[in-house]
Amino acid sequence: MEAVGTWALLLLLLLVVVLTLALPRTRARGHLPPGPAPLPLLGNLLQLRPGALYSGLLQLSKKYGPVFTVYLGPWRRVVVLVGHKAVREALGDQAEEFSGRGTLATLDRTFDGHGVFFSNGTRWRQLRKLTMLALRDVGMGKPEGEKLIQAEAQCLVEAFRETAGQPFDPSLLLAQATSNVVCSLTFGLRFSYTDKEFQAVVRAASGTLLGISSPWGQSYEMFSWLLQPLPGPHKQLLSHVGTLAAFAVEQVQRHRGNLDPSGPACDVVDAFLLKIAQEEQDPNTEFTEKNLLMTVIYLLFAGTVTVSATVCYTLLLLLKYPQVQERVHKELTQELGTGRAPGLGDRARLPYTDAVLHEAQRLLALIPMGVPRTLTQTTSFRGYTLPQGTEVFPLLGSVLHDPEVFEQPEEFNPGRFLDEHGRFKKQEAFLPFSLGKRVCLGEGLARSELFLLLTTILQTFSLDSPCPPGALSVQPAVSGFANIPPAFQLQALPR
C-alpha cells in the first residue's frame, strides 16, 4: 500500500508540473483584449479547429469584437485584428509599433530569424533596404522590368498555344512564368518550361505553400513543440524547402565564381555579394551568407506562388463567368486591337479589365490571416495595453471581405471597382499586399505581372472549359495561411 501511495503522489506531482508548464507562459504585464479562456495544454483548440483556423477566428470576432486574444496551443498568445478599421488603425496609423515579424512555426526552424522576410530590427531594415534597391536597379518599376514581364508573357502564350485547344491544368505553366520573372531579377537567368530541374523547383514552391496552409500546417502552428520531433507531413514540407534551398545555393555559388568586384550588380545576388565583400571586415554586419541565402529562398518562393495563384484564380473566374470574359475581350479589342502587346501604360484605358483583376484578388484573399506581426514596443491600442513582443494576426481576408465596405462580399462583382462613368475606382479596403512598414516588398512587381500576364493571355485566347460554368467551384481547395485555388482544366482557343 505504501508503494501504491508513493506512485500516486509521484503521478500527482507530475500532473501538477505538466499543468504548470502548460499554462500560458506569456502573461506579460498589460491590459489585453478579451477572448475565450485557454485550456491547459490545448489553448483555444476547442474554438479553433486546425483546417478551419481562419473561419474559427471570424466566428470568435462575432462574440469578442474586432480585437480579441486567443491562444494557439498552450503558450502562443495572439491578438487578432478583424475588419478594415481595426487593421488599418494598427498597421497604418501605428505602423512602427506593429512592424515586427511574427511566427510562422512551419518555417521558423529553417529561416531562424534570417533573411528579409523573417528578420526583425536592424537586420530587417538593412536587408529590406538593400533588397528593394537591388530589385529597382535591375528593373523593378522601370521600363526594363516591364519588357522582361512582356517577354515572359509571350513565352507563356506560346506554351498555351502548344496545347492546341486541348484541356490542360494551367497552374504549372503560370507558376513557371512568374518564377522566371523573379529568377531573371534575382539570378539573371530564365529557364525553359521543359527544364526538369526548374519544374522541380516550381513544384517545391507550390508544395511549400500547400504544406504551410494545410490542416497539418495549422496544427503545427499550435503544437510545433509536440509535433516537430514526430513523423508527419512537415517532413515533406522540409523536403520542399530543401529543394528551394539547394537551387538557391547552386545559383549563389555560380554568381560567386563569376562576380566582377568592380560592379555594377547585374541582379539581386550580385548586389548582395558585392555588399558582403564591402562589409566583410565589419563583425556586426548583417550582410552575411545566411541572410543572403534566406532572402533568395524567400524571393524564389514568394515570387513563384503568389502571382501565379492569383492569375490562376482569375482565369477560373473568367471560366465561371463567361459574360465577364466577353466584356474583357471587348475592351481589349477596342483599346488595343490584336497587333500590339499590352503595356503598363494601357492600364488606365482598360478600367473594366483592371476592375476584374482587383475583384479577383479581393475575392481570393490569397493570405487571409495576413502574415503574423509582433509589437516592437509596448503599445496602447483601442484602450488595451499590448506588451512588447505580443504577436498579432491582422486578418486581411476580413478586410477584403468586410461587409461594411464591400456589399455582398462573397460575390464576384467587378463593378464595385468602377464608378458611375465606368472609370476605375479605388477602394481603401483593397489591401491584398497588407500595409504599413511590412507591406509586401514585391507589390509593384506583382501588380505589373498580374496585369501584363492576364491581358496578354486574353488578347491572344478565348478561354473555355470542358465543364459547364455552373459546375466550376471557385471556393479555395485549401484555406489556411493561404487560400489555394482549386485545380481545373482550361482550353485556350486562339482568337
Residue 406 has pLDDT above 70, yes or no: yes
Query: How high is the pLDDT of residue 311?
Result: 98
Mean pLDDT, residues 442-469: 97
CA–CA distance, 91 with 448 (Å, rounded to integer): 24
> In percent, how much of the chain has pLDDT > 90?
87
Distance CA 85, CA 429 (A): 9
- Cα dihedral 208, 210, 211, 213, rounded to 10, equals 120
pLDDT of residue 30 exceeding 70 = no
Query: Which of 27-31, 278-282, 392-396 is predicted least confidently?
Result: 27-31
Per-residue pLDDT at 477? 96
Better-scored residue on pLDDT, 166 or 225 = 166
Q: Is residue 14 over pLDDT 80?
A: no
Whether the predicted pLDDT of 202 surpasses 80: yes
Q: Is the pLDDT of residue 89 over 60?
A: yes
Grouping H, G, I as helix, E, B as strand and the rest as coil, residue 10 is: helix
What is the Cα Rg of the chain in Å?
24
Answer yes or no: is pLDDT of 5 > 50: no
- Is the pLDDT at 140 greater than 90? The verdict is yes
C-alpha closest to that of 53 among 494, 440, 481, 342: 481
C-alpha–C-alpha distance, residues 124 and 413, integer Å: 38
pLDDT at 157 over 50: yes
Q: Which residues contact 205 (CB under 8 A, 6 or more apart)?
A: 175, 179, 240, 244, 300, 301, 304, 305
What is the grid cell recorded at 204?
517545391
Tell me the longest C-alpha to C-alpha distance in the chain: 94
Render pLDDT for 375-396 as a digit per residue (tens, 0 to 9): 999 999 999 999 999 999 999 9
Does 490 score more than 50 pLDDT?
A: yes
Instruction: Give the Cα separation of 468 and 316 in Å (integer).
Output: 12
131 three-class SS: helix
User: Is the separation of the CB atoms in 331 and 352 below 8 Å?
Assistant: yes
Instruction: Give dist(CA 438, CA 102) in Å, integer.
Output: 11
15-36: average pLDDT: 60
Q: Where are the beta strands (DSSP E) in 82-234?
A: 100-101
Q: In the predicted model, what is the mean pLDDT of residues 422-442?
A: 96
pTM for the model: 0.93
pLDDT of residue 417: 98
Cis, peptide link before residue 264, omega less than 30° from 0 = yes
Q: What confidence score (pLDDT) does residue 337 get?
A: 83
94 has pLDDT over 50 = yes
* Mean pLDDT score, 284-303: 97
| pLDDT for the residue numbered 2 | 39
Work out the percent of the chain whose per-residue pLDDT is above 70. 94
pLDDT of 23 > 80? The answer is no
Do residues 61 and 82 make contact, with C-beta atoms less than 8 angstroms apart? yes
What's the whole-number mean pLDDT along residues 346-351? 97
Fold of 2-494: Cytochrome p450 (1.10.630)
**pLDDT for 178 beyond 60:** yes
Residue 4, pLDDT score: 40
Does position 25 have pLDDT exceeding 80, yes or no?
A: no
Q: Which residue has the higher pLDDT, 284 or 4?
A: 284
Q: What is the mean pLDDT of residues 34-52?
A: 93
417 near 352, Cβ under 8 Å? no
For residue 373, which phi and psi values (nearest 5 degrees)? Answer: -115, 165
Name the band, by pLDDT with cuts 50, 70 and 90, for residue 230: confident
The grid coordinates listed for 461 are 485566347
First to last CA, the chain: 89
Locate the domains of the chain by residue range: 2-494
How many CB atoms lie under 10 A from the CB of residue 280?
11
Helical (H) or strand (E) element with 448:
helix 443-460
For residue 29, pLDDT beyond 60:
no
pLDDT at 250 over 90: yes
Q: Which one, of 211, 258, 259, 218, lies nearest residue 239 by Cα?
A: 211
Region of 113 on the Ramachandran plot (φ > 0 left; ψ -120 to 50 alpha; else beta):
left
Cell, residue 8: 500516486
Q: What is the model's pLDDT at position 433?
A: 97
Predicted pLDDT of residue 174: 98
Average pLDDT, the chain: 93
